[in-house]
């Protein structure tokens, strides 16, 4: 499990690679924790190169989502397809996570102004 990282417009893209399983999830969790400590709370998780998820991998994605939100940021997902998408659908996480087809669409979602509350 290798995690690629890049940053643009104060949004960090994390790209786990290979299997996200009990045996490999610690590498992903360490990269995520480091970025959160550095103050990067807006994250895009690109799953295009994750070929296999087990329950530990799904747990790591949930932890990433809740950690980002807990730090006042947002965590969104891109390139969720195939078996990974089916797992997130079955677990109903697709109704919780923000999922975009492309990294560009995900980046643009961070640029959108927040809606003003109606009184």
Whole-number average pLDDT of the chain: 88
108 or 119: which leads in pLDDT: 108
**Helix H segments across the chain?**
25-37, 55-70, 82-90, 103-111
CATH number given to 2-108: 3.30.750.24
Q: What is the pLDDT of residues 31-80, one digit of tens each?
A: 999 999 998 889 999 999 999 999 999 999 999 999 999 999 999 999 99
Nearest-angstrom CA–CA distance, 88 and 29:
19
Percent pLDDT > 90 in the chain is 76
Nearest-angstrom CA–CA distance, 64 and 94:
15
Percent pLDDT > 70 in the chain is 86
The domain limits of the chain are 2-108
């Amino acid at each position: 499990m290798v995690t690629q990282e890049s940053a643009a417009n104060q949004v960090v893209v994390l790209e786990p690679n290979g299997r996200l399983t009990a045996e490999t999830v610690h590498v992903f969790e360490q990269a995520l924790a480091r970025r959160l400590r550095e103050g990067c709370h807006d994250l895009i998780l690109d799953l295009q190169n994750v070929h296999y998820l087990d329950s530990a991998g799904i747990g790591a994605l949930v932890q990433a989502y809740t950690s980002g939100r807990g730090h006042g940021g947002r965590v969104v997902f891109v390139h969720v397809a195939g078996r990974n998408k089916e797992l997130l659908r079955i677990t109903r996480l697709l109704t919780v996570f923000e999922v975009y087809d492309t990294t560009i669409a995900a980046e643009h979602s961070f640029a959108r102004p927040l809606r003003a509350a109606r009184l």
